[in-house]
Amino acid sequence: MTTKCTCNSSGAVSVRIACIECSKVIKKFSIKKPLKTVGLSLAAIYGGSQLIDYAISDNRYPLEIEYAVSNACINSAQARISNLGYETKQRVCLCALEEAMNEISYTRFLVDEDGFLDSLQSKIGECR
């Protein structure tokens, strides 16, 4: 197997698969340099986009924490409220939780829980 060519004449790579005993060619194909470059570029772009998508948009907290925060927000009133009032409060709390989770990542939440709660409080005002 040759890894380096000294002629430097073209950007094509040729692959030939032959039988060891009779030297008959079983399979032969070539890859041109531009095609190889495009393929590698597309693979790198796809991998990068998947990484960015994961890092930016996959900002879910563990389900237990999401439930505990939303439940505490929704059921924080001491007085009884009507069904319509409960549904409105539920909508506002879930909106605020979603916005706060988009602003503060889960790893940051683990370090600065008070910052998350401050963000949640401000988002409640915005979601009303």
Residue 75, CB-side half-sphere exposure with 13 Å CA sphere: 6
Mean pLDDT, to the nearest integer, of 25-51?
77
pLDDT tens by residue, 76-128: 888 888 999 999 999 999 999 999 998 998 888 999 999 999 999 999 999 98
The pLDDT assigned to 121 comes to 94
CA 97 – CA 66 distance, rounded (Å): 8
- What is the three-class DSSP state of 31? strand
The pLDDT assigned to 71 comes to 94
Residues 6 or more apart whose CB falls under 8 angstroms from that of 39 comprise: none
E strand or H helix at 17, and its extent? strand 12-18
pLDDT tens by residue, 47-84: 888 887 766 665 678 999 999 999 999 998 888 889 99
- Say what the pTM is: 0.56
Q: Is the pLDDT of residue 3 over 70?
A: no
Segments of 19-101 assigned E as strands: 25-32
Per the model's pLDDT, the better-predicted residue between 34 and 117 turns out to be 117
Which residue is listed with tokens 């009133």? Answer: 77
Q: Is the Cβ–Cβ distance between 69 and 97 less than 8 Å?
A: yes
Q: Is the pLDDT of residue 28 over 50?
A: yes
- What is the three-class DSSP state of 48? helix
